[in-house]
Chain A
Amino acid sequence: MAKKVAFMQGNEAAAHGALYAGCKFFGGYPITPSTEVAEVMSAELPKLGGKFIQMEDEIGAMAAIIGASLTGAKVLTSTSGPGLSLKQENIGYACITEVPCVIINVMRGGPSTGMPTGPSQSDVMCAKWGTHGDHPAITLVPASVQELFEETVRAFNLAEKYRTPVMVMPDEIVAHMRERIVFPEPGELEVIDRTKPTVAPEQYKPYDTQFGDVPPLAAFGSEYRFHVTGLNKMADGFPTTKAAVVQAEEERQVRKVEANVDDIVKFEEYMMDDAEVVVVAFGSTSRSARFAVNEARKQGIKAGLFRLITFWPFPEKQLLAISKKVKAFITPEMNLGMCTGVVKGCVEGNAPVHGIFRVDGEPINPTQILDMIKEVK
């Protein structure tokens, strides 16, 4: 049977990716340029017996999906810049309580209301450092409609596997562009469900590390009863201020991601084998970068593209290894140097890092990147 092919918008593809992953609950609040995700979910979820609710605000939307996830459902919300700021309170709550959930944040200009209809890549730091306190962060940055679908599926898998919030962050261009998508058949992409407890209900502890760094999560309304709190907690879920317990629990939560970087980090290397000038890019900017690399190769310049698909955790060791054999890095991004700073930290001065920054609501075009490749080659 021929595969289902469609001409589809990025946000719509993200919604369909969520449904493919088994999402059964969406809580949202309207915000440009992510609203199409909510619109598709409002139409499709009830057909599958799932639930869609438009909440009174962004904070409430984030709260509702956490509540729903605790009943065992796979859950999604979508937002953009100002909404991401508001959601941070309960993103932190999901981190410390270790409740799986997926947030699609379409990046628009900021800070504040900024440029609601313009593209941006300036939420990548907010994704990691937006909520207070130490916590794990997983952020995926797809570059095409097809990839937005597939990375949304992967986001659900990572959220369920590691019991933590996962963000999918297309920039506005990727979210609003329309291109060809080939829908995977059911079963073609891996779909992971959270591990459920097998112990007797009276023995269940929601943070029982005898089962490893990611303890099984029971569901409200099942035979398991448990307590969930945003306070620092013990294995049984109840609050504690015992120094050793708090320290160990905080470290474990961060370790869930840090110890599994190889499982979570995903990237694409293009023309990298003999590259001397490496463009590190993500999202729609990486499409311009690929074009520029192709043009540079035509002109005999050994350029390559290192495309981030996972932004957090960052591919630190890969970039450090590359830095030992190249002349220069170029980091084009639609912000004033967020990724550039991270790359500089990774490469330990082995090679210079040249940023190209735009925050004017216009995409970074291939010529800008090609000019820089020629300049630093």
Chain B
Amino acid sequence: MAFDYDKYLRPGKLPHIWCPGCGHGIVMKGLIRAIDACGLEKNNTAIVSGIGCASRLPGYMDFCTLHTAHGRAAAFATGVKMAKPEMNVILVGGDGDGTAIGGNHFIHACRRNIDMTYLIMNNNIYGMTGGQFSPCTPTGAKASTTPYGNPDPAFDIAKLAIGAGATFVARGTAYHATQIDKLIAEAIQHKGFSVVEILDDCPTTYGRRNKFKSVIEMMNRLKEIAVPVKAAEKMSPEQLEGKILTGVLYKAEKPEYTGEYAKVIERAKGAK
């Protein structure tokens, strides 16, 4: 029997705002399958986002949903999770929202290792505002504000998350649709701050400026550059040139923030 996505979608809220060819819908379906696989209860799950195309995702989802200010999803979500640690909290957003204006909240959520899952849809561009370069736009690429090519180096979101203290970091692509739910499900089940980056495409504002002739060409590129971490172990540095590792990139066990704060409460109550 086909998977019943409607069970998790708010009636009457589709069609979504995303352009034809955008991968965000593929990612949303992956998120829904992951939530289903983990058995999360709707009433006990918050989906929190910032601003941008990807951040419109929570509106379609039949959960406790919070569409916050630009870049602030992690900070709002931290308040939700701290106040009600028994809730499942999932953050969603794009690369500009999460790593530029929201960069500070992102790294500190990683550092605290607070038990939330952050799903970042990285399409290398600010799509909603019409295609300005983001911290994840490749050097040299064209954007509406880099008409002569992007002089900025790009973030590696996974390395940023690992360096900042996240204890589960994974990467997938919108092409590898059936892997997305598995990565997100593992992230949700991980106790601590988990980051899942999904390499995505924006044909409307990135593809057309960077010589991609079609959505299919953009998707094929994702297929070509992705190398599973296991396969990469057998490859030479030359073979890995221009490739991007996918799968679970990092996993560690460290004290989780709301659990640590529960100990603070115990100590405070015991204090004379």
Q: Which residues of A contact B (CB under 8 A)?
A: 24-25, 27, 43, 46-47, 49, 51, 53, 55-57, 59-61, 63-73, 75, 89-90, 93, 220-231, 238-239
Contact, CB under 8 Å: B59 / A66: no
Contact, CB under 8 Å: A68 / B105: no
- In the assembled complex, the Cα of A65 lies from the Cα of B76 at a distance in Å of 7
Segment from B27-35, B60-68, B92-100, B124-132 that makes contact with A: B60-68
Q: Which residues of B contact A231 (CB under 8 A)?
A: 67
For window 68-102 of B, CB contacts with A under 8 Å fall at 68-69, 72, 74-84, 86-87
Contact, CB under 8 Å: B43 / A227: no
Q: Which residues of A contact B104 (CB under 8 A)?
A: 56-57, 60
- In the assembled complex, the Cα of A289 lies from the Cα of B269 at a distance in Å of 45
B206 to chain A, nearest CB (A): 25
Query: Which 10 residue pairs across A and B have the least CB separation, nearest first?
Result: A67-B79, A64-B79, A63-B75, A46-B268, A60-B75, A68-B83, A56-B108, A229-B67, A68-B79, A67-B76
- In the assembled complex, the Cα of A55 lies from the Cα of B66 at a distance in Å of 19
Q: Which residues of B contact A25 (CB under 8 A)?
A: 79, 82-83
- In the assembled complex, the Cα of A222 lies from the Cα of B108 at a distance in Å of 28
Q: Which residues of B contact A24 (CB under 8 A)?
A: 83
- Binary flags per residue of B29-71, CB closer than 8 Å to A gives 1, else 0: 0000000000000111010100000000011001111111100
- In the assembled complex, the Cα of A183 lies from the Cα of B104 at a distance in Å of 40
**B2 at interface, CB cutoff 8 A:** no
- In the assembled complex, the Cα of A61 lies from the Cα of B75 at a distance in Å of 7
Asked, given contacts A24-B83, A60-B105, whether A220 binds B64 with beta carbons under 8 Å apart, the answer is yes
Of B65, B78, B265, the residue contacting A228 (CB under 8 A) is B65
**B216 at interface, CB cutoff 8 A:** no
Q: Which residues of B contact A (CB under 8 A)?
A: 10, 13, 42-44, 46, 48, 58-59, 62-69, 72, 74-84, 86-87, 104-105, 107-108, 261, 264-265, 267-269, 271
- In the assembled complex, the Cα of A71 lies from the Cα of B83 at a distance in Å of 7
Q: Which residues of A contact B64 (CB under 8 A)?
A: 70, 220-221, 225-226
B192 to chain A, nearest CB (A): 17
- In the assembled complex, the Cα of A61 lies from the Cα of B87 at a distance in Å of 20
Nearest B residue to A222 by beta-carbon distance?
B43
Asked, given contacts A60-B104, A60-B105, A220-B64, whether A67 binds B43 with beta carbons under 8 Å apart, the answer is no
Q: Which residues of A contact B84 (CB under 8 A)?
A: 71, 220-221
Contact, CB under 8 Å: A67 / B265: no
B178 to chain A, nearest CB (A): 28
Contact, CB under 8 Å: B83 / A223: no
Q: Which residues of A contact B68 (CB under 8 A)?
A: 63, 66, 93, 230
Nearest A residue to B265 by beta-carbon distance?
A46
Q: Which residues of A contact B72 (CB under 8 A)?
A: 59-60, 63, 89-90
Contact, CB under 8 Å: B83 / A46: no
Q: Which residues of A contact B268 (CB under 8 A)?
A: 43, 46-47
- In the assembled complex, the Cα of A63 lies from the Cα of B107 at a distance in Å of 16
B65 to chain A, nearest CB (A): 5
Contact, CB under 8 Å: B76 / A73: no
Q: Which residues of A contact B82 (CB under 8 A)?
A: 25, 51, 53, 64, 68
Other than the given A60-B78, A61-B75, 18 more pairs (CB < 8 A) read A46-B267, A49-B265, A53-B79, A56-B107, A64-B75, A64-B76, A67-B76, A67-B77, A67-B78, A67-B80, A69-B79, A70-B80, A224-B43, A226-B65, A227-B10, A228-B67, A231-B67, A238-B59
- In the assembled complex, the Cα of A25 lies from the Cα of B81 at a distance in Å of 12
A163 to chain B, nearest CB (A): 16
Q: Which residues of A contact B108 (CB under 8 A)?
A: 55-56, 60
- In the assembled complex, the Cα of A230 lies from the Cα of B51 at a distance in Å of 9
Contact, CB under 8 Å: A67 / B83: yes
Nearest A residue to B114 by beta-carbon distance?
A53
Asked, given contacts A46-B265, A67-B80, A231-B67, whether A55 binds B75 with beta carbons under 8 Å apart, the answer is yes
- In the assembled complex, the Cα of A33 lies from the Cα of B104 at a distance in Å of 24
- In the assembled complex, the Cα of A225 lies from the Cα of B39 at a distance in Å of 17
